[in-house]
Amino acid sequence: MRDYLSNIVGRTLWSGMLLVGFPVAIAWLLQRISPRLWSIGVLRGKFGNRRGGTFLYATAIGVACHELGHAVGTWITGNRVVEFVPFRPDSEEHPDYLGWVRHTLGGGVWGKISQMIICTGPIWFGSIVILLLTRFLVGQEMNISYYDYFTNGELPGLFAYLVACLRCAILLCCDLAGGALFSGWKMFLWAYLVFCIAPHLRMSGPDLDYSKSGFALVFVITLAFLLLPISGRWIAVGVALLLPKFFIVHVLMILAVFINTGFLFLEKFIGRMP
């Protein structure tokens, strides 16, 4: 019995790590990097009011998509959007935000889970937008295949999974740098939109804090269902079906890390210019 429970808990922890823990860790990393790049105060301090403001407005689509992810998360959880501001960098009320969403939120267990869904909205919604843009502008599926690395249906090890994600993200960057995806104005439009949206596939500091209880509840509920033989089998099948989809999100989030890191080096280079 003890071995059975240990196996269930271990499988639940591992599934949660691959499906949720991995993207939250990347979101936390992006949250540590991004404020140095996307803060209006930092941009204007580095590049001056005019150039800093121009950069913000040129990439405003990414901010709007981020906030729209919060709004869509609010709607699908049955809550109501009270105020939706997709982009307002000069707000005196919220000087540290480029945009924001105010919404209602129910109480109880569903309220905490809803908060988690709303807070993670920019990640899953932004990924869906990028995939749709790829489908309709590039005319093909994005070259990110989970099954190129894992075909046996078993949950992969963390190191193997991380290597696969990194390799896919690097190959995607190579395709872009080599011009493999650029064959017309649609390709350049796609690159510009991804350039704007990808860096915002992240959660802010408050988002990470507010979603903690929701993540904990989802883990406890999943663990409880896994203890039941029939439902446990269905959940295991569900995880195996979901992981290839989540793999795409994870690769896109790593791409966001690459883009933001590139911006950091660019910021350092420009900062040293006279």
Domain spans, the chain: 2-271
Torsion of Cα atoms, 17 then 207 then 30 then 135, to 10°: 80
Predicted TM-score (pTM) of the model is: 0.77
Collect all residues with Cβ–Cβ distance below 8 Å to 171 and sequence separation of at least 6. Answer: 143
CB 260 within 8 A of CB 37: yes
- Residue 238 CA to residue 244 CA, distance in Å, equals 11
Task: Divide the 274 residues of the chain into consecutive groups of 10 and give the mean pLDDT of each group.
Answer: 59 68 75 58 47 66 91 93 85 75 88 90 88 76 73 72 86 67 71 81 80 82 70 66 79 80 66 50
- Residue 236: what pLDDT? 65
- Residue 267 vs residues 30, 46, 49, 259, 272: alpha-carbon distances, Å: 16, 8, 15, 12, 9
CA distance 190 to 198: 12
pLDDT at 192: 83
| Burial profile 76-113: b = 16 or more Cβ within 10 angstroms, e = fewer | ebebeeeebbbbebeeeeeeebbbbbebeeeeeeeebb
The pair phi, psi for residue 105, each rounded to 5°, is -155, 125
Read off the tokens for 107. 């109480």
pLDDT at 11: 64
CB 239 within 8 A of CB 155: yes
Helix (H) and strand (E) counts for the chain?
A: 12, 2
- Decide: 30 and 201 in contact? Cβ < 8 Å: yes
Question: Tokens in use for 61?
Answer: 């689509």
40-54 core/surface letters (b: 16 or more CB in 10 A; e: else): beebbebbeeeebbe
Closest to 141 measured CA to CA, from 248, 69, 62, 247: 248
Give bridge partners of residue 103 from the DSSP assignment.
81
Give pLDDT, residue 46.
Answer: 47
φ/ψ (deg, to 5) at 183: -140, 20
Residue type, 173: C
